[in-house]
Amino acid sequence: MTPAHKPAMNTPRLATGPTPAPLGQPLRLPSLRRLSWGAAACLAALVSVPARASDASAAPTVAAWTPASLRSTLADLPRGDPAAGQRVHEQLFCASCHGDKGVAPTQNWPHLAGQRAAYTAKMLLDYQDKRRLEGKRAELMHDIAVMMTPQHIADVAAFYAAQPAPQADGTPRPKPERQPNDVAAETLVRFGDKSRLITPCASCHGVAGQGGKLEASALAGQNPLYFVRTLLDYQSGVRHNDSVKGMRASAKKLSRSEIEALATYYADLPGNHSAVTSR
Ligand code: HEC
Ligand code: HEC
């Protein structure tokens, strides 16, 4: 494996961002100012910002993942501690957007509660390195993620994994206009669709939507509006951080109304992931 494929996880990769705030000490003023601006601007504007195609500045700063580089990078992360993760979540203002326990109060923003640690860690690394940069909201997460050390990342990931998946989050469900050829959500999840070579979602995301191997995310209880948006982003290719194009390929085969029905299916899955904390 070349060094380009294997970021040094023991040295914080913060060259592009401010120095991380040590836990237990107040954040330095510049980071605070930046974040409160971010939170305010977000609430005011981002909720209705349309996704835009990534421009030249959105180019990733590092090589694409290979399955091997991803596996070893995740394995090299320090061990996460949920209690320390809760402090990071509060002190770096994650709670202000993602809710006290990782259930986001804002429509369209992802819930983090019950998420698999490996997926959360991968996303934060992807935001840091601009592998994931599908729009304004992802740019905001980039600005936040560059302030995090590998230990912060491991700790918040452990904290979210230890929270129960969101249930009945109150987000309005999409109202799909079904197309004649649509396959029912539960069928797609459990059996896929052989005629379109669609692999069952459950084979990677687990039968209860609890997540699967390595970075396959938990989906149970996820905010359905975010779920639809991110699948459409994979479909159009603006979200392209999936390591082997698996999600882009899956999303391209689904109709919009199937995506909307899948979002409701997963949002309403009565998941209980409090036991799923391993990465
Ligand atoms: C100002 C609001 C805001 C703050 C503060 C914030 N986030 Fe986010 N976060 C978002 C939004 C909006 C998204 C969706 C971005 C996108 O569409 O790519 C997001 C996405 C994420 C994701 C990806 C979720 C998924 O399902 O793919 C993770 C993980 C995450 N945030 C963790 C954090 C952590 C950890 C912190 C604190 C260090 C934090 N966020 C602070 C708004 C925020
Ligand atoms: C071959 C394995 C595989 C299959 C099959 C699969 N997924 Fe995924 N999915 C993944 C992986 C891995 C990721 C994380 C990708 C990344 O790093 O961005 C993911 C990410 C996602 C996300 C984004 C989660 C988030 O919080 O942003 C959604 C939504 C999703 N998948 C839905 C589905 C649906 C619906 C199906 C079935 C139609 C499906 N997936 C089938 C492996 C799979």
For tokens 């199937």, name the residue: 258
| Listed residue (200, 266, 198, 271) closest to 230, CA to CA | 266
Tokens, residue 279: 């990465």
User: Has residue 115 got a pLDDT over 90?
Assistant: yes
CA distance 147 to 77: 16
Q: Which of the four pLDDT bands, split at 50, 70 and 90, describes residue 61?
A: low
CA distance 162 to 165: 9
**Residue 134 CB less than 6 A away from ligand 1:** yes
Evaluate the CA torsion angle 195, 198, 202, 203 in order and state its sign: positive
CA distance 250 to 245: 9
CA distance 244 to 257: 25
Tokens, residue 200: 């069952």
- Quote the ligand 2 centre to 215 CA distance (angstroms): 9
pLDDT of residue 46: 41
Highest mean pLDDT, choosing among 52-66, 165-179, 249-263 = 249-263
Q: Of the ligands numbered here, which is closest to the C-alpha atom of 41? A: 1
Span of 67-76, 164-173, 201-210 with lowest mean pLDDT:
164-173
pLDDT of residue 174: 94
- Quote the ligand 1 centre to 80 CA distance (angstroms): 18
- Quote the ligand 2 centre to 198 CA distance (angstroms): 12
Q: Are 235 and 254 in contact (CB under 8 A)?
A: yes
Give burial (CB, 10 Å; 0-12/13-18/19+) of 106.
middle
The pLDDT tens digits for 134-151 are 999 999 999 999 999 999
Residue ID of nearest Cα to ligand 2 atom 19: 216
Residue 231 CA, closest ligand 2 atom number: 29
**Residue of 97, 149, 169 best suited for mutating to test ligand 1, as the one with most atoms within 8 Å of CB:** 97
**Residue 140 CB less than 6 A away from ligand 2:** no
**Residue 145 CB less than 6 A away from ligand 2:** no
**Residue 230 CB less than 6 A away from ligand 2:** yes
Q: Which of the four pLDDT bands, split at 50, 70 and 90, describes residue 245?
A: confident
Residue ID of nearest Cα to ligand 2 atom 11: 216
The pLDDT tens digits for 20-37 are 444 444 333 334 334 444
Q: Are 243 and 66 in contact (CB under 8 A)?
A: yes
pLDDT of residue 58: 52
The pLDDT tens digits for 177-211 are 999 999 999 999 999 999 999 999 999 999 999 99
